[in-house]
């Protein structure tokens, strides 16, 4: 099995049922999708899909792999999809990406459009900031300043996560997100941050030909709802939905609403025979 495969696969690995690969953000990991954070993987599995919450290179169970950029991550995810197909048979492939994971999903569908049946792009964008480079350089410097001062990932998570949340975040959302972010190796965070600031797939949006849900947090300061709505207008088969009162980590802040929106989209666009969980 591919080395990127998550430690837990939610749902049946038998025949039938589409694969839904869950791709996390820069401060995330597989844990952002499990019960302690959002329960998204279990909710998708309970609906009959085969949900795979994975650790991208450099994270969690894949910490032994070298951290890399968006294109490299997309290639690793494709290798995982190939391994799943070889071991368990072909099935429709859905990508659900949050923040950086949404960029990985966009990269994969741009490079291999025939492999993807549907996309869910959550709290993400098609480019990392305005073009030019100055904004990106300032962002990297500001984001790395706490680490450069020796505070470590746990202290940085405690400073960064609360401002990302919306006014209706559930109790415990901040603690759950901080726990996941604190577990990210510092060298991985540093390396990936340097890679992702050059991401730009804006010109590829009109070529996305599969059903696509753009799922925003109404109060997201990082991937603003208005930006995501404009992004959706450029994707021919896109739907847009904003979760009221949610910020950038909408799946953790308002998991019931987030999961319901994902499942509604999947049930309308990805037909399958339900498999036992």
- Asked whether residue 119 is assigned to any structural domain, the reply reads yes
Distance CA 2, CA 35 (A): 24
Which range (57-61, 215-219, 242-246) has the least confidence? 57-61
Distance CA 212, CA 233 (A): 11
Mean pLDDT score of the chain: 90
pLDDT band at 272 (very low <50, low <70, confident <90, very high): low
Please give the torsion angle defined by the CA atoms of residues 206, 212, 215 and 216, in that order, rounded to the nearest 10 degrees: 0
- Asked whether residue 110 is assigned to any structural domain, the reply reads yes
- Asked whether residue 3 is assigned to any structural domain, the reply reads no
Quickly count: other Cβ atoms within 10 Å of residue 172's Cβ.
12
- Asked whether residue 31 is assigned to any structural domain, the reply reads yes
Q: 105-164 pLDDT, tens per residue?
A: 999 999 999 999 999 999 999 998 776 678 788 888 888 888 999 999 999 999 999 999
- Asked whether residue 215 is assigned to any structural domain, the reply reads yes
Name the β-bridge partners of 214.
Answer: 121, 240
Query: Does residue 2 surpass a pLDDT of 60?
Result: no
- Asked whether residue 35 is assigned to any structural domain, the reply reads yes
Q: 19-41 pLDDT, tens per residue?
A: 999 999 999 999 999 988 899 99
Mean pLDDT confidence for 35-63: 92
Q: How many structural domains does the chain have?
A: 1
- Asked whether residue 275 is assigned to any structural domain, the reply reads no
Q: 195-220 pLDDT, tens per residue?
A: 898 899 999 999 999 999 999 999 99
Q: 171-195 pLDDT, tens per residue?
A: 999 999 999 999 999 999 999 999 8
- Give the closest residue to 211 by CA, choosing from 89, 90, 127, 109: 109
Name the residue range of residue 218's domain. 9-269
We report the CATH number of the domain holding residue 129 as 3.40.50.1820
Distance CA 137, CA 128 (A): 11
- Asked whether residue 234 is assigned to any structural domain, the reply reads yes
Predicted model pTM: 0.93
Enter the tokens of residue 57.
Answer: 């290179």
Q: Express as a percent the part of the chain with pLDDT over 90.
A: 77
Name the β-bridge partners of 52.
Answer: 9, 21
């Amino acid at each position: 099995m591919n080395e990127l495969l998550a430690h837990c696969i939610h749902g049946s690995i038998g025949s039938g049922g589409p694969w839904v690969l869950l791709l996390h953000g820069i401060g995330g990991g597989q844990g952002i999708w499990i019960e302690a954070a959002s329960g998204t993987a279990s909710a998708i599995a309970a609906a009959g899909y085969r949900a795979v919450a994975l650790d991208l290179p450099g994270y969690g169970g894949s910490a032994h792999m070298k951290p890399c950029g968006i294109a490299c991550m997309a290639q690793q995810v494709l290798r995982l999809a190939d391994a799943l197909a070889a071991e368990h048979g072909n099935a429709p492939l859905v990508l659900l990406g949050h923040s950086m994971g949404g960029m990985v999903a966009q990269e994969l569908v741009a490079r291999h459009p025939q492999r993807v049946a549907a996309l869910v792009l959550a709290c993400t964008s098609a480019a990392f900031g305005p073009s030019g480079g100055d904004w990106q350089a300032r962002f990297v410097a500001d984001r790395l300043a706490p680490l450069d001062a020796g505070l470590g990932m746990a202290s940085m998570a405690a400073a960064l996560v609360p401002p990302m949340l919306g006014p209706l975040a559930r109790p415990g959302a901040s603690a759950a997100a901080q726990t996941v972010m604190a577990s990210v190796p510092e060298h991985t965070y540093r390396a990936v941050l340097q890679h992702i600031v050059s991401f730009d797939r804006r010109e590829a949006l009109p070529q996305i030909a599969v059903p696509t849900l753009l799922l925003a947090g109404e109060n997201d300061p990082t991937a603003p709802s208005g930006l995501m709505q404009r992004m959706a207008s450029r994707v021919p088969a896109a739907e847009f939905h904003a979760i009221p009162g949610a910020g950038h980590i909408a799946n953790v802040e308002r998991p019931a609403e987030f999961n319901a929106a994902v499942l509604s989209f999947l049930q309308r666009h990805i037909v399958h025979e339900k498999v036992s969980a």
